[in-house]
Amino acid sequence: MGKDVFIKMDGASVNVAHVLSFSSEKEFVEAYDSKLYLARDQKVRKAQLRSMYKLAKKQENELSKSSQREDNQ
């Protein structure tokens, strides 16, 4: 995945490759809980971080599927 792919959500921007460098959603949320959305309630903040992680994984999976289709042709 390209280095310049970002997820932008509610004023925060996170590099997809960086998100995917974490081994789990929990690890990502714990690392960023005190860095993004500081003015928000912790429960809301963690939910948004989980959404960002899931979106990054979805993009990775879609890219993987499209690469496999290209390889099969």
* CA-wise closest residue to 25 among 2, 47, 42, 10: 47
**Does residue 1 belong to any structural domain of this protein?**
no
**Does residue 34 belong to any structural domain of this protein?**
yes
**Does residue 31 belong to any structural domain of this protein?**
yes
Nearest-5° Cα angle at 9, 69 to 2: 35
Q: How far apart are CA 60 and CA 49, in angstroms?
A: 17
Average pLDDT (50-67) is 89
Bigger pLDDT: 43 vs 11:
43
Residue 58, pLDDT > 90, answer: yes
Instruction: Please say whether the dihedral angle defined by the alpha carbons of residues 21, 24, 26 and 27, taken in this order, is positive or negative.
Output: negative
Task: Look up the domain containing 10 and give its range.
Answer: 6-65
Cβ–Cβ < 8 Å for 37, 10: yes
Give the number of domains in the chain: 1
Strand, helix or coil at 5? Answer: coil
Amino acid at 61: N
Average pLDDT (37-60) is 91
